[in-house]
Structure 1
Amino acid sequence: MNNNVQIFTGCNPTWCPGCGNHSIIGGLKSSLVQLNLTPSDIRIVFGIGCSGNMNDFLNAYAVHSLHGRAIPTGIGIKLAQHKAPVIVIAGDGDCYGEGGNHFMHACRGNHDIKVFIHNNGVYGLTTGQASPTAQHGYVSKSTPKGIIEQPLNPLSLAITQGATFVAQTFTGDVDHMASIFGRAIHHRGFSLVNILQPCVTFNKINTFAYYQKNSYKIPSSYDAKNYEMSLKMASELNSFKFPLGVVYETERPTYTDQISHLKTKELVCRKPYAGYGELMKEFL
C-alpha cells in the first residue's frame, strides 16, 4: 500500500506565504495516498493562474492547459483513457468565468472527471482583479467602484445542470479537504469540489477568519440525495453562509458509460486509422 505523500512532491511551491494553495496540495496528496494511488495512476489537468502553478509542484501525469480550457482537456483525456482517474484543478475565474460554458456542459454530460476549484474571489496571479464569485460591491483593480453583478453560485449551477457530486470545503481544515477530495475521486460521474480559499495578498474581505465565522459543517442527518434539499443548502451561499461537506450526490450513467466503443477497450489502445489517403479521394 502507498503511504508516502512524498512520491507526489514536485518542485518547491512559489505561492505567497499563508496562501490556501499550500493546504490544498497537502490535502490532495493525503487523499491520493489514502486511495492507494500513485503518480502514474492518475491524470491531472491544471488551468491558469496560481492554482495552475501546482502543475510544477505536484508529481503526476499532468498537463497545464489554456485559460478556461481545463475541463475540455480533462474530458479528452477521460475519453482516451476512461479507466484512469482524471482530476481537473482550476481557479474560480478560470473555470466559472472564461471556462463557464465548458463547466455547464460537463455537468450536463456527467463526464467522469473530478473538478477541484480554488475559489478565492480574485484573479490572484494577475494581481487581484475580481472573479465571478466575488461579492456584490467588492472593490478591486478591475472594479474600483465595486462589483455591480451578483456573485455566481457554483453549487446551485452545478446541481441544476446535472452534476452528480457537488461538495464544498475550506482550506482552513486540511483533514476535511482530504476527505472530500477522496469522496469526489471515488464517485462515478461529474464531481465538483468548490474550495473556499482565502487570497492573503489581494482579498482582504474573504479571509480565514471570515470563513471560520461564516462556514459550518453540514450535519450528519442531512440527506445529500434529496434534490430539493440540496438546492436549498446550495442557496445558503446567496446569504454568505458556507456549508462544508457534500451538498448533493446521486447516481446516473456517466458519459463514457454510454459510448459503446469504450466497452471493449480504451481509445488509446485502438489501432490508429491509416486509410486517410483513400478517404480523401472522395473529396478530390
Structure 2
Amino acid sequence: MPEHESRLSGFRLLILFVALLLVFVGIRWDKAQWLEQKLIMVVQQQHLPLVWGGLKLSGATLELSAVQWQDASLSVPVELDSLAISPAWGHLLQAEAAAHIELLWQGNPVSLVVSRQDVYTQVSDLQASLNIASIRPFFPIDAELVGEAVAQGDMLLDSLAMPLDGAVTLSLHDAMITAMGVKLSLAEAELTLQHDQQQNWKWGLRISGDIKAEGSGELVISSPQPQSWQLAGGLSVAATPSTPPLLLSMIQSAGVDGLTLKLSGVLGQIRTQPL
C-alpha cells in the first residue's frame, strides 16, 4: 500500500474512532446527573426553598420526586408527590420561552404553563382537581370540608409569587361543610376571582344545595400569604327545602328575603355581620 494511502487510511480510522468514542460518551453520559447539578446551582443562586428526593430524565421531560417547597411565607410546607417539567411546544413555536408543568400534590393532579414576562411570571392554562380537605391547612377556618374542587385560570405573579393580574374560577361539586354543629350539603358552588385592570380584585360566589347563597366584593392582595388577604363584600343567604332546622330558623328570623351578611377581615379570619 502506498505511504499516502496508508496515512489516509489511518486518518479515516482515527476519525471513525473519535466518532465512535463520541457516540459511546453520548450513550454513557448521565444527563440526569448533569441536569441535577445545574438545577442545584440555580436553586442555590436564586435562594429557592426547594428540595427533592429523586430526579430522572424521560425524553424531554425532567421528573422530580418527593419535592418540598419550604417557604417561610407559608403556614405549612408544600410537599409534592411528583413534579414533571417539559417544553411548552406551542409557546416555543411562537418564540416564547415557556414550560409545561404537571405535578401531583397530596394525590391532587395539577397542570399549568409557566413563562417569563420581564421580571414577572405568567401562569396560564391552569387546570387542577383538588380534594378540598387538602386545601384546609392553607385556609385555617373553623369548619370541616369534604368534596372535590376544580380550579381553572391564568395569573400574573411578581417575584414574590404575589398575584398581580388574572382570573381564576374554583368550582365545587357535591361538597359537604360542617360548622358550628350544622352540616350542609352543597350541590354546586362557584367562586370567581378576577382582576379589574385598576389594581382591584373582584370576587363572586354562588352556592346551591341545602342553602342558596350569592355574594360579591373585593379582595386586597398585599402579600404572598393568602391568609392575610383582606376581604370586603356581602353575602345573601336564602333557605331551600333541605335547609337544616337550626340554620332555617336563623334565616327566617332575618326576614322573608333571607339573611344578608357583611363580610370583612382577612381570609384567615373572616368576620360576618348581619345587616
TM over 0.5: no
Higher Rg of the two aligned structures? 2
Q: Flag the structure with higher helix content.
A: 1
Q: Flag the structure with higher strand content.
A: 2
